[in-house]
A and B are shown apart, each in its own frame.
Chain A
Amino acid sequence: MQTPILEVKNLEVSFATYAGTIQAIRGVDFQLFEGETLAIVGESGSGKSVTTKTLLGLNAANATVKKGSQILLGNTNLADYKEKDWDQIRGKKIAMVFQDPMTSLDPTMTIGKQIAEPMEKHLGKKAKEAREAALALMKDVGIPDAEEHIDDYPHQWSGGMRQRAVIAIALAAEPDILIADEPTTALDVTIQAQILNILKAQQKKRKMAVIFITHDLGVVADVADRVAVMYAGKIVEKGTVNEIFYNPKHPYTWGLLSSMPTTSTALGSLHAIPGTPPDLLYPPKGDAFANRNAYALKIDHEKQPPFFQVSPTHEAATWLLDKRAPKVVPPEEIQKRQAYWQEHFVKEG
């Protein structure tokens, strides 16, 4: 197996607030390999955005990364980084595409300058060179008539165009890893596909690894190689995109997939997951999903489940995979997916 370019081990992040300490990330492990796209999926508040902000040291001042957390980029552990160290990482090694293009660009600086800024800093380009490079990059991400618009200010552009500029800024210093934090959520449906295509094309061209944060499983199916499902500050299941979509093991993943509208499969009806995620001021002692889980075992309420290996690439944290657990019948939608899995993936080997 190849060595990962980024490895996160036992990441724990908490936030000090007036009300108490919120344990936003409660032990997250994952690996990222060269050139792949890892999607992190979860509802809002599951900790997916906090995880990626931690990778860039961008959390708010009241956040603490717990001692013993590891974020290994090559031989360095980013979890130990001080504020001044991060400048060698941000933009240059790891860059980020933000969610809302309407508010992510500095309203008082021309777009060309905003794109050129990381180039001057990290690639040592002079102002004129950087401007040329910014222009080329603008064309690359599909901004039409870039020459005429390089000195525009953000307010003169539409959301879709601004998100292209945000992508160009992220690509400017040629990062190895690109984090896309719900890059299409704030956009019109018609624009979403264009932005996804730009991201995919640039990833291929630059051989970047991409961490794609989203709550939209449709987008995941479109872009991801591997998927990690997050719930209440933990990863509950991770595997290849096919393993997660057609052979899911965690009841939360079942719930997510059942609540996803599909046109290709057109199976059954939509199901909402009952209840709300737990308050991470007081994390439950057992499986955080137990109180919304119709398949919860007694032990789920008492003890957090470990990861059970399903295949070399697939693991899930649920007591249902323990050999002592009773056999349960998953929801109808999942049964159909598993049947599809048996037919298309298992037979072929």
Chain B
Amino acid sequence: MEASQDFELVGIENVAATEKINKPTLTFWQSVWHRLKKNKLAVISMYFLIAISAFALVSTAVVSQNSANQFNTNAGSKYKNLPPKSGLPIPFWDGNGTVLGSTDKVDVYEKNGVDKNFILGTDNLGRSLGKRVTVGLRISLFVALAATAIDLLFGVSYGLVSGWFGGWIDTVLQRFIEIISAIPTLVVVTLLAMLFGSGIGSIILAIALTNWVGMARQVRNQTLTLKERDFVLAAKTLGESGPKIAFKHLVPNMAGTIIVQVMMTIPSAIMFEAVLSAINLGVKAPTASLGTLISDAQQMLQYYPYQILIPSAILVLVSLAFILLGDGLRDAFDPKMLDE
């Protein structure tokens, strides 16, 4: 039973104690990271992409483009079309395969008298696919990242200008986007690639010039919303210049949208590189990219499927990781879908 001193009037006490149990306040980026961490697939994808990028960077010092291109014209037939061999008794990774003119599975390495193991096998010129894929991944990532960087610059500026100025400028810029969108992307990329000629630079430009539309649209819509917000109006009233407002107030507030859009643009650029290679507008032989590796091996699909399936799998995995990370970031930036 309560004692009578319990009924002493004390009023509001212990405020500090009750405030403590409230959730700790996180900054915007901390809370984004906090929510992203809960999405395991996104986190795995992020680490995978970091590892892949590190691998691509480090490999520049180890595997040069030349060493991946070289093949021995004399001993070519000995090293030709060797299946992947891990050196361990793992099925489909033991160097066993069929040779032309026979359907029996034999250890092709033994038969040809090759004493080296090629982990990912060799191509029809006897070049190590391990080296080719390493270099190809590097080139594909470089093309995709460079194209996306251009997209980022161009798309964000285009969207900002269109949304910020509005009026006839917006109308003209949006009409232009509509016209561009009326032509299938492949045709635009093809025409541009033909215009610029072959080479990595022109592929990057061709991909960048077709991919920026999505970014420009997103940034414009965000700008239209943000420019009516009080803090932008305040900056305007204080006489800050347009570019200053854009970079101090608008861009930081749409960082989430931009980052998510970048995550979606990169895989699309990787895919377009492959498409361009498949129609002979990609990087020129003997330079390897994931796209050229896939298109070169297409004729060999029936006999040496590993030559096409390995670069294809890598391309799909990298795209998948970007998309999963992009999904995770989108939910982390916009948490309303997560509750429940």
Which A residues fall within an 8 A CB radius of B? 17-19, 60-62, 274-275, 278-279, 282, 284, 290-299, 301-303, 319, 322, 324-326, 328
Q: How far is the CA of A317 from the CA of B96 in the complex (A)?
A: 82
Binds A, one of B1-9, B168-176, B302-310, B314-322: B1-9
Residue from A274, A284, A293, A319 within 8 A of B18 (CB atoms): A284
A278 to B339, CA, bound (A): 20
A326's closest neighbor in chain B, by CB? B9
Q: How far is the CB of B144 from chain A (nearest CB, A)?
A: 34
Q: Contact between B7 and A325 (Cβ–Cβ < 8 Å)?
A: yes
Are A297 and B12 closer than 8 Å at their CB atoms? no
Q: Are B339's CB and A18's CB within 8 A?
A: yes
Across the interface, do A296 and B21 meet the contact criterion of CB distance under 8 Å? no
Kindly list the 4 A-B residue pairs having the minimum CB-CB distance in the complex, ordered from nearest: A299-B6, A324-B7, A298-B8, A325-B7
CB distance from B4 to the nearest CB of A (A): 5
A10 to B185 alpha-carbon distance, docked (Å): 63
- B1-55 contacts to A (CB < 8 Å): 2, 4-15, 18, 21-23, 38
Given the known inter-chain contacts A61-B340, A279-B21, A279-B22, please indicate yes or no for A301 contacting B14, CB distance below 8 A: yes
B338 within 8 A of A: yes
Indicate if the CB atoms of A326 and B15 lie closer than 8 Å: no
Q: Which DSSP category, helix, strand, loop or mixed, fits chain A's interface?
A: loop
Q: Please determine whether A296 and B339 come into contact, CB atoms closer than 8 angstroms.
A: no
**Closest-CB distance, A344 to chain B (whole angstroms):** 30
Q: What residues make up the interface of B, taking CB atoms closer than 8 Å to A?
A: 2, 4-15, 18, 21-23, 38, 338-340
A302 and B11 contacting across the interface, CB-CB below 8 Å: no
**In angstroms, how far is the closest chain A Cβ from the Cβ of B11?**
5
Give complex CA distance A295, B14 in Å: 14
Majority secondary structure of chain B interface residues (helix, strand, loop or mixed): loop
Taking CB atoms, residues of chain B closer than 8 Å to A296 are 9-13
User: How many angstroms from the CA of A9 to the CA of B6 in the assembled complex?
Assistant: 30
Bound state CA distance, A122 and B18, in angstroms?
50
**Contact assessment for A301 and B13 in the assembled complex, using a CB-CB cutoff below 8 Å:** yes
- Chain A residues with Cβ below 8 Å from B5 are 298
Chain B residues near A19 (CB-CB < 8 A):
23
CA–CA, A138 and B82, complex, Å: 80
Known: A282-B21, A284-B18, A291-B18. A322 touches B12 (CB 8 A): no
The answer for the CA separation of A324 and B338 in the assembled complex, in Å, is: 49
Supply 14 further A-B pairs (C-beta < 8 A) apart from A274-B12, A294-B11, A324-B7: A17-B340, A18-B38, A61-B340, A275-B12, A279-B23, A292-B12, A296-B9, A298-B6, A299-B2, A301-B13, A319-B7, A325-B7, A326-B7, A328-B9
Q: Inside 8 A of A322's CB, which chain B residues have their CB? A: 7
Knowing A282-B21, A299-B2, the reply to whether A294 touches B12 (Cβ < 8 A) is: yes
Q: Which of chain B's residues have a CB closer than 8 A to the CB of A293?
A: 11-12
User: Chain A residues near B21 (CB, 8 Å)?
Assistant: 279, 282
- Complexed CA–CA distance, A295 and B23 (Å): 27
